[in-house]
Amino acid sequence: MSSALVLENISFSYEQNEIFSDLNYTFNTGNIYSIMGSNGEGKTTLLNLIYGNLPLKTGSICLSQDNQIKELDDKDVFLIPTVPLLPKFLTGRQFLSLYVTENGCDLEDIDIVLDKLNFHEYDLDKLILNYSTGTIHKLLLACALLSKNKIILLDEPLVSLDFIVAAEVKKILQNLKKDHIILLSTHILEIANEISDETAIIKDKKIHKIEMNNMSTEQLSELMRMKLLEENNGE
């Protein structure tokens, strides 16, 4: 079932500081999207708007599915923040059991989800206090799959992971994308280039798609440094 996350005419401000103005973009099932931008441009703000943590000033954020349009609710979206706050003195198994109970998920799905994420039994019985950042991300991805969220948002998910764990998380996201809309924020060009089907940059209060396939990292860095995006988009 194909779905799309549709952002239309979005505006948002922090008091007098306007972050987005008349922003429009569509994200489709089956793709991983990297959202890039300088600090303060609104990467995390965009994810929080989609998740519903922040109120829109104007515009709408909707899910289009089989020619039907609906407003997002908390069952549609799952957000993994840069620094997740989890109960550290529960084991992974206890946390998932609690999550399933509180969110009305199917208990029978736990083994299926854990197998899909290559989640090891010995990690389930460890305290979350002793989890690596990568294992915490896998635990939260398990929650997203258990609650059948269509849209998965990740705020700088790979920034503190070592090479091996980052590669595992990338593989997991690639395997999940066919049934989900996946958005991740990042300021690292190499991550966007390696993992994404589409990359966009937040600039001048809007989102602009950038074609990375034929660009080297040096060219992309130069593009951002010299602020030539407007010229490339004919603005």
Length of the chain: 235
Residue 12's closest CA among 205, 226, 234? 205
Structural domains of the chain, with CATH:
1-75+180-235 (3.40.50.300), 77-149 (no CATH)
Q: State the alpha helices, DSSP H only, in 131-227.
A: 133-146, 163-176, 189-195, 217-226
Mean pLDDT by 10 residues, the chain (235 residues): 89 91 94 87 93 92 88 89 90 94 88 88 93 88 92 85 76 89 86 85 88 62 50 45
* Contact (CB, 8 A) for 143 and 78: yes
Containing 59, the helix (H) or strand (E) segment is strand 58-65
Distance CA(196)–CA(124), nearest Å, equals 29
Any idea which residue has 């979350």 for tokens?
Answer: 128
Amino acid at position 66, single letter: D
